[in-house]
Amino acid sequence: MSQKPFLRSSGVREDHQSAQAIFLEIKKAIQSATKESFLVYQGIDEETGSCVERSLDEDKDVEGRNSRVCYNSCALILHVNIMPGFIHDSHQPWLEIQKGRMLQTGFITFDEFAHLHLFVGTTVRGFAPPYAASSKQPDQMILPPGLNMPTLAVEAGWSESTTKLKGDMRLWIRGGAVNIVLLFKWSKLVGGRVKGWVEVYEPGPGGAEKLIQSEAQNNRHPRPAIRNGNTPPSKSTGHI
């Protein structure tokens, strides 16, 4: 597949206009964001999706801003999560603690501990067909040195994004042969409180995913104030 050149804010050829419009819309949303929001573009062909994703990844105005981009070339969907909030990212310190606990209890050695590198939002490419043109910036992952794919991937979201989370899981399991995928789902309750679920998947027979554990969080924690950017994100959908 030929790849379009990276898009920029000006000087783009006419035949790139559809991808350019998406790129500029996402870039503007990222730059102007004041709270968590979620963009969805459906029916995005591989060439356009890869071009937009790589252009955002290389854009200096977007670099360093809190956003995570995923293009799923099997589903032909481009997702952008802008300014993930405290609740969305609350699994991150938990995984750090579990990593330390494995060392403390002797489940892993120090050398093994040192090779369990944690990353958040780092772009991963190189998936197997039919996900070959896909890219993913995970909510968290363990990527040991020398590997192109994580051994563990974590994805999180509000209950409204369950379909997206399942798509992310299949991308990792079917397209990346990741050993374990954790899905964290959060749901808003009355009184400004939230509850959560976690699902654990591994590769199953024939390369399909297998659910091996599902747990609900019974302790319903207060939801942080709106000023911290932790309300369920706004969502908009685009088509081309």
On the question of a cis peptide bond just before residue 130, with omega within 30 degrees of 0, the verdict is yes
* Packing angle of the helix pair 17-32, 46-58 (nearest 10 deg): 40
pLDDT in tens, 125-134: 999 999 999 9
Longest dimension (CA), the chain: 60
One-letter amino acid at 223 equals R
Neighbours of 204 (CB within 10 A): 12
C-alpha angle 26-30-32 in degrees, rounded to nearest 5: 115
- Write down the pLDDT at residue 60: 87
One-letter amino acid at 172 equals W
Place of tokens 């950017």: 229
First to last CA, the chain: 20
What pLDDT band is residue 219 in, cutting at 50, 70 and 90? Answer: low
With contact defined as beta carbons under 8 Å apart, do 194 and 187 qualify? yes
pLDDT in tens, 68-105: 999 999 999 999 999 877 788 888 889 999 999 999 99
pTM of the model: 0.80
What is the average pLDDT score of the chain?
Answer: 83
